[in-house]
Amino acid sequence: MTKLSLPGSIWLASDIHLGPHCPATVQSFHRFLTAASLQADALILCGDIFESWIGDDLALKDPPIWLALTIDRLRNVSERIPLWLGRGNRDFLMGPQLARHVNALLLPEPALIHTDAGLILLSHGDEYCTHDPGYQRFRSLVRNRRVQDIFLDLSLGTRQRIANWARERSKRANRNKSKAILDVNTRSVEHAFSRYGVQIMVHGHTHRPGAYRVRVEGSIRTRYVLPDWDYDHDKPRGGWLEISRKGCNLHDWRPPELESANSSGSGKKPDGKNAPQTDPVPGKRPVGMS
């Protein structure tokens, strides 16, 4: 089990889902990266950074403009502070070539991190969604190294067509699934708390940001869920978790152009809210604790 030591102000974000379909989200995330490089002591991106990732050669061989700009921004971050890249269910094929290209480190999963707020268990979070055995079978298959090698041997165009097909198939399947199935399994979460002996867990994936109480072995633990990002639709949202000696705090991300729109009354304030399935920790809001 890999243990990291990251003192100071650590920023964590996930589920940005970058791609050519969301230019405003891409721009907002680029501004966030600049802020992180200036204000944080380390940045951890906990998976689903990209809407899809079909191999590191996507970034190395004539990348589209939005991706080329994102790679430049990631490099700018890693020139100032340590940058960690975690892999999610959309970008599990991010590998060492990309990490070297942006001077980042690949985050092991799960990871235990010694921080100024204590020991933190960190992962993308989809491994806790065990209400959905079909998804867990798929997850085991696509994370098999041999299966990945076979896929990566295909042409870039073929991989893209397969990824597009799989994404559409997943969307159709999820429409027929209840919110409970798509959320974490409480027993899986409790087992992880017990197994790793931590008081705090952080993950993304579920798009249900907040701080949630979990009673495990007679004590109250806290599970922080990272916000998902979307600045291309009517209710813009996005955010991050800061871990420091002050504790763990979730924040909205409001890029300058959005703040200007809000102050002039011509825009909407990002709420970033998704109704939680468990009670949030008293005094905590799902997002916006900045």
**46, 198, 183: which is closest to 121 by C-alpha?**
198
Confidence band for 284, pLDDT divided at 50, 70 and 90: very low
DSSP string, 13-42: E----BSTT-HHHHHHHHHHHHHHHHH-SE
Q: Tell me, what's the pLDDT at 9?
A: 98
Q: What fold, for 3-130+184-263? A: Purple Acid Phosphatase; chain A, domain 2 (3.60.21)
Task: Give the mean pLDDT of the chain.
Answer: 89
- Tokens 């921080």 — which residue? 115
List b or e across 181-203, with b for residues whose CB sees 16 or more CB atoms inside 10 angstroms. Answer: bbbbbbeebbebbeeeebbbbbb
Give the 3-state secondary structure of residue 80: coil
Q: Tell me, what's the pLDDT at 266?
A: 45
CA 12 to CA 248: how far, in whole Å?
10
Q: Tell me, what's the pLDDT at 265?
A: 52
Q: Tell me, what's the pLDDT at 11?
A: 99
Q: How far is CA 200 from the centre of its chain?
A: 17
pTM (predicted TM-score)? 0.88
- Tokens 């300058």 — which residue? 256
Q: Where are the beta strands (DSSP E) in the chain?
A: 3-5, 10-13, 42-46, 83-86, 105-106, 111-115, 118-122, 200-203, 210-216, 219-225, 239-244, 247-252
Higher-scoring residue by pLDDT: 8, 179: 8
Confidence band for 286, pLDDT divided at 50, 70 and 90: very low
User: What would the mean pLDDT of 139-165 be, rounded to a whole number?
Assistant: 94
Copy the structure tokens of residue 159: 């991989």
Q: Tell me, what's the pLDDT at 171?
A: 80
User: What would the mean pLDDT of 144-160 be, rounded to a whole number?
Assistant: 95
State the amino acid at position 139 in one-letter form: R
Q: Tell me, what's the pLDDT at 273?
A: 37
Copy the structure tokens of residue 199: 């008081």
Q: Tell me, what's the pLDDT at 177?
A: 73
Three-class DSSP labels, 248-288: EEEEECCCHHHHHHHHCCCCCCCCCCCCCCCCECCCCCCCC
Q: Tell me, what's the pLDDT at 279?
A: 36
User: What would the mean pLDDT of 196-208 be, rounded to a whole number?
Assistant: 97
Per DSSP, the chain holds a count of helices (H) and strands (E) of 10, 12
Q: Tell me, what's the pLDDT at 3?
A: 86
User: What would the mean pLDDT of 161-176 be, rounded to a whole number?
Assistant: 84
| CB-based contacts of 175, cutoff 8 Å, min separation 6 | none
Task: Express as a percent the part of the chain with pLDDT over 90.
Answer: 76
Confidence band for 290, pLDDT divided at 50, 70 and 90: very low
Is the model's pLDDT at 268 over the cut of 60? Answer: no
Strands 83-86 and 105-106: parallel
Q: Tell me, what's the pLDDT at 278?
A: 36
User: What would the mean pLDDT of 198-215 be, rounded to a whole number?
Assistant: 97
Copy the structure tokens of residue 122: 């960190």
Give the 3-state secondary structure of residue 159: helix
Copy the structure tokens of residue 273: 């809210």
Is the model's pLDDT at 226 over the cut of 50? Answer: yes
Phi-psi region of 245 (alpha: psi -120 to 50; beta: other; left: phi over 0): alpha
* pLDDT 10s digits, 81-132: 999 999 999 999 999 999 999 999 999 999 999 999 999 999 999 999 999 9
Is the model's pLDDT at 57 over the cut of 70? Answer: yes
Confidence band for 262, pLDDT divided at 50, 70 and 90: low
Confidence band for 274, pLDDT divided at 50, 70 and 90: very low
- Is 124 within 8 Å of 205 (Cβ atoms)? yes
